Structure 1
């Protein structure tokens, strides 16, 4: 029986291929399930050999930590170059979006609290 290693929901394609390559480089047997037609299931990478589960999970954890660190450094470099925006900067450049967001939040709060206010 296989063991789930990685659910492919919201996994970028490059990460998917890098994880498969990592498993192949270390000789860890795996198989894949495809996403369902109506996206009820998003597919996954499963291990054939349960005795290598800890090794595969450790490899995956190390890979994901390295990938997260790389993403952080890329984002910090983009911020330093002025290419990335924070949410506050985005709303300063587009105040109508900020006002729209506030109105949307207000409407949702009103609709959620209205039954309790009319008691």
Structure 2
């Protein structure tokens, strides 16, 4: 029986492509389910042979470690070059968005703290 290997919810397209290539390169049989049109399921990659699942998980762990290191390196490079997104930069570029998000956060905190007292 097939086992779900990777749920594709919130997985970037490039990462999903790299995982597919990784499985193909290592001769691990898999199939892919597509997301539902109503957004109930997001699709996934399934390993057909459960005997290959342990090897696929080990390969995935190595891949994720490499991807993490690459992302950290890119972030460090962006910070050194001044291209990294910061709160101050976001506030300067999109002030209404930042103020709106902060106002929504304060509203949620206020309602969360005040609601028990209002229901007494």
- Give the TM-score taking structure 2 as reference length: 0.85
SS in 1 for 2:53: helix
Deviation at 1:15, TM superposition (A): 1.0
Cα distance change of structure 1 residues 99 and 24 upon mapping to structure 2, 3 Å threshold: closer
Q: Take 2:77 and 2:48, find their aligned partners in 1: how far apart are those partners?
A: 40
Which position in structure 1 is the counterpart of 2:38?
38
Q: Take 1:14 and 1:99, find their aligned partners in 2: how far apart are those partners?
A: 32
Cα distance change of structure 1 residues 95 and 46 upon mapping to structure 2, 3 Å threshold: closer
Deviation at 1:39, TM superposition (A): 1.1
Cα distance change of structure 1 residues 101 and 44 upon mapping to structure 2, 3 Å threshold: closer
Cα distance change of structure 1 residues 21 and 115 upon mapping to structure 2, 3 Å threshold: closer
Which position in structure 2 is the counterpart of 1:77?
77
Deviation at 1:18, TM superposition (A): 1.0
Runs of 5+ unmatched residues, structure 2: none
Q: Which aligned pairs between 1:26-65 and structure 2 lie closer than 5 A?
A: 26-65=26-65
SS in 2 for 1:11: coil
1:15 aligns with 2:11: no
Cα distance change of structure 1 residues 115 and 19 upon mapping to structure 2, 3 Å threshold: closer
Deviation at 1:64, TM superposition (A): 1.0
Runs of 5+ unmatched residues, structure 1: none
1:46-75 Cα deviation digits (max 9, x unpaired): 001111111000101110110111011001
CA RMSD between the two structures? 1.9
